[in-house]
Chain A
Amino acid sequence: MASSGVQETVKTATGAPRLEFIDFARGIVMAIMAWDHVSGFWNQYHHGGEGILGRAPPFVDTTWFLLRFVSHYCAPTFIFLAGTVLAISVKRRLEKGESQRDVSLHLVKRGLVLLFFVAAIEAPAFTNPWTYFGVIACIGVCLIIFSVARMLPTKVILVLSLLIILNHSFLDLSFIPTRPNWGWYLRVILHEPSFDRWPYVGLYPIIPWVAVMGLGWSLGNYLSGKSAEEIKGLKRPFALTGVASIAAFIVVRWLNGYGNLVARMGNTLVDWLYVSKYPPDLAFLLWTLGGMCLMLALGIHIQGREWFHGGLSGMLLSFGRNPLFFYLVHLWLYRAQPPDFYPRAYVPPFYLGLPETLLFWAVGLVVLWRLCLWYEKLKRQYPKPILQYI
């Protein structure tokens, strides 16, 4: 029976049970992210760039706006839960008897491997230069930061993370010169995402994303060692936090001042929801992390059900258990073209319509599901060495 094979996979390398509601939430956003990318590769009216230098590139209509907007959940959830899983895994490694030095070294190596994947796999998939500072590069650098920052007490990390998220909009990097190019690139990496000076481009600056990971880290430390019963009891707090966060989003957008890097310029649905992702403003994070909390609550609600490991939720779980593998594979699966050896602005050979793109997305998810299951099997067969980094 398929479920028995899956049951084996819900144990971690150390034998401790996985927190499957985390895999479930992560699986949902991986599937949504796949939509964003397939649509970005093949749809004429799909675009991003919300908030870069305060810009708000218009969408052709509300449908295309919402088809993009739904993907906003991905990066915050991905990075937040990376912090959560990191905290849990670090704690388990230390409990297994690994030294502090080895744990830190592992995080640095993992961060460097991610940076290599950016240059070799992620950036070429988007037809970007290898210097592109995308979501994987950001996570890689954050892992390196956390190889040291993890020594701080959790409460300090929590306070610093909240302060960064609530105050990063006041950050002024004008003291860093934009000439020579390293100054420009440093600003891109730190807090000013931009595509204006090729090849020094990036979309996911360390500030404030490192703080999103810090919040996730704090949650991970809170969850560590919790019993199944205690985890069940978190459903309501997660749901309430999610609702409160979305309510706070509405207040911030209504006030239309602090917390908005893209101002609300009217009262249409698009005006209310058009928030800055690059860098993420407070409104963006309230909406997306609020949604993530609701996904976690839903995951806790259904994780005990008989059907949880099968069907659609089983597929989402397999995505969530293999996020990096999924990420690297899905880019090239949906790109479906050979690499460009001369990076340029990406233009597909032809455009697909919306129904064809949706079909492509759905078929791709099934393929990715099978690939993820195959990869899990491979990881069980060869638990060491390089596969542990993917």
Chain B
Amino acid sequence: MATHISPRYRDAAIILVVVVAVTGFNIWLHRGDTPIGYQLYSANGFSFIYPRECTLREAVVIFRYPSYWLGDLQGESSDGAATVIGIVWEAERSGGVPATMDEIIDAASGYYQITDVGVDADTTFGGKQVSVRGFSVLVNEVSVPGLMAGWVSPEGRVFVMYCLNLGRGDDYTALQLSRMMGSLETEPPPKPR
């Protein structure tokens, strides 16, 4: 028996199908895009995403041009420097991740007063097994809390990411690090010519 559908419902159904189909296709098409609010860094044999408002500078912690085995990047947000993010990488050495973290804190201590350095703890950030360490930086008598996370890549590099933020709480810092660490992808070292 033929079923009569009211034109009003038919039109609503057509509108719904068109809107859902086009939007669904667009979501699928853009599934691999850098998330909104982030930018992609890709060089020196690795890539990761970082907050778009942070402009990255090279050689802030280690005074050398970045290369595959050694380097660092740091970015500060332009809206009042409320957020600072950074990444340091180097060939794994004795002492592993904690040694690289100590090195970063030593380097930063030359410029700022580093306080409340915590004990390392193992956890999972963005699907990677990492060591995390809390710390604070005293800037103009204001204590800015920060967190760093370190991971050893399959090719034997230590990557330590850090994030400091004033005003948005520990959740923000942890989530930011988790996103950055989760997006970190590395490539094998270049072959000698």
Contact = CB atoms under 8 A, between A and B. Distances in A.
Most buried by A among B36, B166, B175: B36
B35 interface: yes
Interface in B126-170: 166-169
A262 to B, nearest CB: 6
Interface string B153-193: 00000000000001111011001100000000000000000
B53 A55 contact: yes
B interface bracket (residues with beta carbon within 8 Å of A):
20 to 34
Nearest to B29: A170
Interface stretch (A265-273, A293-301, A323-331, A350-358): A265-273
A155 interface: yes
B37 A54 contact: yes
A208 to B, nearest CB: 13
Contact of B53 (A54, A260, A261): A54
Interface stretch (B77-85, B88-96, B100-108): B77-85
Contacts of B52: 53-55
Residue among B15, B30, B37, B51 having the largest count of chain A Cβ atoms under 10 Å: B37
A12 interface: no
A59 B53 CA distance: 17
B19 interface: yes
Contacts of B36: 54, 169, 260-263
Nearest to A265: B172
Contacts of A169: 36
B122 interface: no
Interface string B51-93: 1110000000000000000000000011110100000000000
Interface string A36-66: 0000000000000100011111111000000
A186 B171 CA distance: 37
A379 B11 CA distance: 42
Contact of B23 (A158, A163, A265, A266): A163
B27 interface: yes
B30 to A, nearest CB: 5
Interface in A229-273: 257-258, 260-263, 265-268, 271
A169 B22 CA distance: 13
Contacts of B23: 163, 166-167
Interface residues of A, number: 29
A362 interface: no
A170 B22 CA distance: 12
Nearest to B36: A261
Contact of B18 (A57, A159, A267, A271): A159
A225 to B, nearest CB: 16
B26 interface: yes
A103 interface: no
Contacts of B30: 170
A265 B53 contact: no
Contact of A267 (B53, B168, B171): B171
A56 B27 CA distance: 24
B171 A271 contact: yes
A265 B175 contact: yes
Nearest to B18: A159
A53 B55 CA distance: 13
Nearest to B33: A170
A268 to B, nearest CB: 7
Contacts of A167: 22-23, 26
Interface string B12-35: 000100110011001101100001
Contacts of A265: 168, 171-172, 175-176
A67 interface: no
Contacts of B29: 170
Interface in B32-55: 35-38, 51-53
Contact of A58 (B19, B27, B82, B171): B82
A70 to B, nearest CB: 20
A158 B11 CA distance: 11
A57 B165 CA distance: 12
A189 to B, nearest CB: 20
A162 interface: yes
A384 B135 CA distance: 69
A112 to B, nearest CB: 33
Interface centre among A162, A261, A267 (most CB of B within 10 A): A162
B19 A162 contact: yes
A164 to B, nearest CB: 11
Contacts of A49: 79
A53 B176 CA distance: 17
A56 B77 CA distance: 10
A155 B15 contact: yes
Interface of B: 11, 15, 18-19, 22-23, 26-27, 29-30, 35-38, 51-53, 77-80, 82, 166-169, 171-172, 175-176
24 contacts: A54-B53, A55-B52, A55-B53, A55-B77, A56-B37, A57-B79, A57-B80, A58-B168, A60-B167, A155-B11, A155-B15, A158-B15, A162-B19, A163-B19, A167-B23, A167-B26, A170-B29, A258-B27, A261-B36, A265-B168, A265-B176, A266-B169, A266-B172, A271-B171
> 5 tightest CB-CB pairs across the interface, nearest first?
A266-B171, A54-B37, A58-B167, A54-B52, A265-B172
